A and B are shown apart, each in its own frame.
Chain A
Amino acid sequence: MLSYRFDFATILSGQYLDWLLSGVVVTLKLSLLSCGLAFFLGLVVALMRLGPVAPLRAAAGAYLEFFRNTPLLVQLFFWYFGSYQVLPQVVNDWLVAGDFEFAAGVIALTVYTAAFIAEDIRSGVRSIPREQMEAALASGLGYLGAMRWVILPQAVRVTIPPLINQFLNLAKNSSLAMTIGVAELTYQARQVESYTFRGLEAFSAAALVYLVLSLTIAGLVNLYHRRVLTPAPGR
Chain B
Amino acid sequence: MDGWLDLAVISDNFVYFMVGRYPHGPLGGLALTIWLALASGLLSILGGLVLGLLSAARHPLVRWLSLGLINLVRGVPLLMVVFWTYFLLPALLGRTVGESQTVIAALSLFTSAYMAGIVRAGIASVPPGQREAGLSTGLEPWQVMAFIVLPQGLRHMLPSLVNQFVSLIKDTSLAFIVGVSELTQVATQVNNRSLVHPTEIFAFIALVYFLLCYALTSFSRWLERRLSWSRRG
Please report A residues at the B interface, Cβ cutoff 8 Å: 1-4, 65-66, 68-75, 77-78, 81-86, 172-173, 175-176, 178-179, 186, 189-190, 199-200, 203, 206-207, 210-211, 214-215, 218
With A70-B213, A82-B202 as contacts: A200 and B87 at CB distance below 8 Å: yes
* Main SS at interface, chain A: helix
How far apart sit A210 and B205, CA to CA, in the bound complex (Å)?
Answer: 30
Interface string of B70-85 (1 = CB under 8 A from A): 0110111111100110
Tell me if B162 is interfacial: C-beta within 8 Å of chain A: no
Check: B170 CB closer than 8 A to any chain A CB: yes
- Which residues of the partner chain A approach B76 to less than 8 Å between Cβ atoms? 172, 207, 210-211, 214
* Contacting residue for A173 out of B77, B86, B206, CB 8 A: B77
Query: Is B101 among interface residues, defined by CB-CB distance under 8 A?
Result: no
A74 to B185 Cα, complex, angstroms:
10
- 30 A-B contact pairs sorted by A residue (CB < 8 Å): A69-B210, A70-B213, A71-B171, A71-B173, A73-B173, A74-B173, A74-B206, A77-B184, A77-B188, A77-B191, A77-B198, A78-B203, A82-B198, A82-B201, A85-B199, A172-B76, A175-B80, A176-B79, A179-B177, A186-B77, A186-B83, A200-B84, A200-B88, A203-B83, A206-B80, A207-B80, A210-B80, A211-B75, A211-B76, A218-B71
Chain B residue contacts of A172, Cβ below 8 A = 76-78
Residues of B within 8 A of A82 (CB): 198-203
How many residues of B are counted as interface, with CB atoms below 8 angstroms from the partner's CB atoms? 44
- List of B residues within 8 angstroms of A74 by Cβ: 173, 184, 187, 202, 205-206, 209
**B43 at interface (Cβ–Cβ under 8 A)?**
no
Main secondary structure of the interface of B (DSSP, over half): helix
**Which of A4, A82, A215, A218 has the most chain B CB within a 10 Å cutoff?**
A82
Contacts A69-B217, A77-B184, A214-B74: A186 and B210 contacting too (C-beta < 8 A)? no
B residues in contact with A203, CB < 8 Å: 80, 83-84, 87
Once the chains bind, are A211 and B72 in contact (CB under 8 Å)?
yes
Q: Give the interface centre of A1, A74, A200 by most chain B CB atoms within 10 Å.
A: A74
On whether A199 and B87 interact (CB within 8 A), knowing A85-B199, A175-B77, A207-B80, the answer reads yes
CA distance A66 to B91 in the complex (A): 40
Residues in A with CB closer than 8 Å to B173 are 71-74
Which residue, A70, A84, A86, has most C-beta atoms of chain B within 10 A?
Answer: A70
